[in-house]
Amino acid sequence: MSEANHNTGKNKDLPWEGKPRKAELDTEAENDVWEREAKRRAGVADVGTRMKPGKKSEENDTGEEMEEEDAEKSEGKKGPGPKGRRKRFISYRLVMSNLPFLLFLAALAVVYIYNGHYADKIVRDINRTSKELKELQYEYKTLKSEVMFRSKQSELAKAVAPFGLKELIAPPVVIVDSTKK
Strand extents, DSSP E, the chain: none
Q: What is the rounded CA–CA span in Å between residue 142 and residue 15?
A: 96
For residue 34, count other CB atoms closer than 10 A to its CB. 19
CA 75, 76, 77, 79: dihedral to nearest 10 degrees?
100
Mean pLDDT in residue range 140-149: 96
pLDDT band (50, 70, 90) for residue 38 = confident
Mean pLDDT in residue range 108-120: 98
CB within 8 Å of 69: residues ≥ 6 apart: 50, 61, 79
Q: What is the rounded CA–CA span in Å between residue 163 and residue 64?
A: 117
Contact 85, 96 (CB under 8 A): no
Which pLDDT value is given to residue 5? 47
What is the radius of gyration, based on Cα positions, of the chain? 47
Question: Rounded to whole angstroms, what are the CA distances from 141 to 49, 134, 137, 144, 146?
Answer: 85, 11, 6, 5, 9
CB half-sphere exposure, 175, CA atoms < 13 A: 2
Which pLDDT value is given to residue 12? 53
Contact 25, 34 (CB under 8 A): yes
Residues in the chain: 181
pTM above 0.75, yes or no: no
Percent of the chain with pLDDT over 70: 58
Mean pLDDT in residue range 50-73: 52
* pLDDT score of 57 more than 50: no
Mean pLDDT in residue range 44-60: 50
